[in-house]
Amino acid sequence: MVGNHGGFTAKPQHLVTGANGEEAAARFLTDRGYRIAARNWRHGKLELDIVCTRGNETIFVEVKTRAQGSLQRPDEALTAAKRRSLIRAAQQYISAANLWDRPCRFDLIAVVRSGDTYHVEHMENAFDLSQPVGSGNTAWQPW
């Protein structure tokens, strides 16, 4: 519920769920030896939820959180349009950080909230950069 309670506005539940899901995803990754390089990195309208590294590899992690019983599974939200946006954001990040010589991949973390518990599923290489992402063209290769 959104409302004014003594001078502050409460966040809508879906935003709270999303923020908690991203926090659960970040903890999941760090617990498994990933180093978080950036969270909610932005370039204009482009955004990367989590950028992390493991060894010499840069991993762009999209986090999708849903409440249990939602009509759409978290992984179903990784549409062709979203993949195109992630690729453009990754291009900007790689350029800004001068990481053109490092391998990278795109992962998806699907988080499902059940009450106060967040269940995390990590899908490495959620999509292959050689797959078409909508317009019939193949995706950009970062290396």
Per-residue model confidence as pLDDT tens digits over 55-96: 999 999 999 988 887 767 767 888 899 999 999 999 999 999
Q: How many domains does the chain have?
A: 1
In-domain check, residue 5: no
Phi/psi-derived region of residue 115, left when phi > 0, alpha when psi is between -120 and 50, beta in every other case: left
Residue 143's pLDDT band, with cuts at 50, 70 and 90, is very low
Average pLDDT over residues 26-49: 97
Q: Would you say residue 41 lies in a domain?
A: yes
Question: 98: domain CATH number?
Answer: 3.40.1350.10
Give me the pLDDT at residue 7, please. Answer: 59
In angstroms, how far is the first alpha carbon of the chain from the final one? 46
- Predicted structure pTM score: 0.81
* pLDDT confidence band for 141 (50 / 70 / 90): very low
Q: Does residue 115 fall inside a structural domain? A: yes
- Report the pLDDT value the prediction gives residue 70, as an integer from 0 to 100: 72
Note the pLDDT tens digit of each residue in 109-126: 999 988 889 999 999 999
